[in-house]
């Protein structure tokens, strides 16, 4: 259990990608991470994950921040933008390269499909370029990190013990794409450490990514935060709500109604009818949050 009076103060974060407006699923993640942080008298930071310019929607970052404010989810410190963090990602790449843990890969998508096996979430990289470091300089290469057959385990605060053998279940994964963009897995690890994040509360779609992130933390000599993965919200078509697929943005007209609905999905005890304003709701939420009540919903996909 987290000791409030320990030497290290709780610091949480919400890290939306500005590929669209906040929908109900991302509001749920924001509310859960906010409430967990505030319940532990911790800080809550916001980081805009605008790593991938073609996916960034103009105006989305500002709209996300306005939405958080409208829902009473106020943050600490300044908002970080990953687009301004390239130097830090570059340094992490250099550190791993010097340790001999990276290699260039020029496999096309087609080659990846032909040589890899289908895994739970996409193709498992066969390690084809690991043995044969490319001498060519074109086309531009992606950089992959060497994975291991030793299982990476961690204890999610809700899902319990999780273990993954990266080499077998994921394969050597990309840290810098051939087009020069840094991968989410690298950036998230570098930034969580640079921001001193102690607790990560986010959607269960990232449960499968967590062992990769812990592996990178170990390679880079960084601390591993605590993890809590929240239930996902599915649309009528049975697919996870996603900003990129234009899931309905949350309605700013009646934030209290949406907050109540998100709180219920998080398995929390509802505030009574005397709570009629957003500020009353958030005060209630910070006081009454119980992480153990969060339902464990099977993640699809």
Q: The tokens of 133 are what? A: 């470091």
Q: Which stretch binds ligand GLU (CB under 6 A): 13-21, 98-106, 163-171, 221-229?
A: 13-21
Cβ contacts of residue 16 below 8 Å, gap of 6+? 22, 26, 30, 46, 48, 49, 64, 243
Query: Which one among 43, 49, 50, 169 touches ligand GLU, defined by CB under 6 A?
Result: 49
Q: State which H helix or E strand residue 143 sits in.
A: strand 142-145
Distance in Å, CB of 275 to ligand GLU, minimum = 28
Distance in Å, CB of 104 to ligand GLU, minimum = 26
Query: Which one among 15, 37, 56, 262 touches ligand GLU, defined by CB under 6 A?
Result: 15
Query: Rounded to an integer, what distance in angstroms lies between the CA atom of residue 75 and that of residue 65?
Result: 9
Q: Which stretch binds ligand GLU (CB under 6 A): 14-22, 59-67, 136-144, 263-271?
A: 14-22
Query: Rounded to an integer, what distance in angstroms lies between the CA atom of residue 168 and that of residue 151?
Result: 10
Q: Is 164 among the residues that bind ligand GLU (CB under 6 A)?
A: no
Q: The tokens of 194 are what? A: 């640079």
Q: Which of residues 187-246 bind ligand GLU (CB under 6 A)?
A: 188, 202, 206
Dihedral over Cα of 282, 287, 293, 299: its sign: positive
Q: State which H helix or E strand residue 263 sits in.
A: helix 255-265
Based on CB atoms, which residue is closest to ligand GLU, 203 or 271?
203
Q: Is 30 among the residues that bind ligand GLU (CB under 6 A)?
A: no
Query: Which one among 10, 11, 12, 17 touches ligand GLU, defined by CB under 6 A?
Result: 17
User: Given the rule CB under 6 A, which residues bind ligand GLU?
Assistant: 15-17, 49, 188, 202, 206
């Amino acid at each position: 259990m987290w000791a409030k009076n320990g030497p290290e103060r709780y610091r949480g974060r919400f890290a939306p990608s500005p590929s669209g407006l906040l929908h109900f699923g991302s509001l749920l993640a924001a509310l859960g991470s906010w409430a967990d942080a505030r319940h532990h008298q911790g800080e809550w930071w916001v980081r805009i994950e605008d790593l991938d310019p073609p996916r960034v929607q103009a105006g989305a970052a500002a709209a996300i921040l306005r939405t958080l404010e409208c829902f009473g989810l106020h943050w600490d410190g300044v908002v970080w933008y990953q687009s301004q963090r390239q130097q830090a990602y570059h340094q992490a790449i250099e550190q791993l390269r010097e340790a001999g843990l990276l290699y260039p890969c020029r496999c096309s998508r087609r080659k990846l499909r032909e040589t890899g096996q289908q895994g739970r979430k996409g193709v498992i990289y066969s390690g084809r370029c690991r043995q044969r470091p490319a001498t060519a300089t074109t086309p531009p290469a992606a950089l992959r990190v060497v994975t291991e057959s030793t299982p990476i385990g961690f204890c999610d605060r809700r899902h319990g013990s999780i273990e993954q053998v990266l080499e077998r279940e994921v394969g050597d994964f990309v840290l810098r794409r051939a087009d020069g963009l840094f991968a989410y897995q690298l950036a998230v690890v570098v930034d969580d450490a640079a921001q001193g994040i102690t607790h990560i509360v986010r959607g269960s779609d990232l449960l499968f990514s967590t062992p990769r992130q812990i592996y990178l933390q170990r390679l880079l000599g960084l601390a591993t935060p605590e993890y809590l993965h929240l239930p996902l919200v599915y649309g009528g078509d049975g697919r996870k709500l996603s900003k990129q697929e234009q899931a309905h943005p949350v309605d700013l007209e009646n934030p209290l109604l949406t907050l109540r609905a998100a709180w219920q999905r998080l398995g929390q005890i509802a505030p009574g009818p005397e709570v009629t304003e957003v500020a009353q709701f958030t005060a209630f939420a910070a006081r009454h949050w119980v992480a153990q009540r969060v339902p464990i919903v099977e993640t699809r996909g």
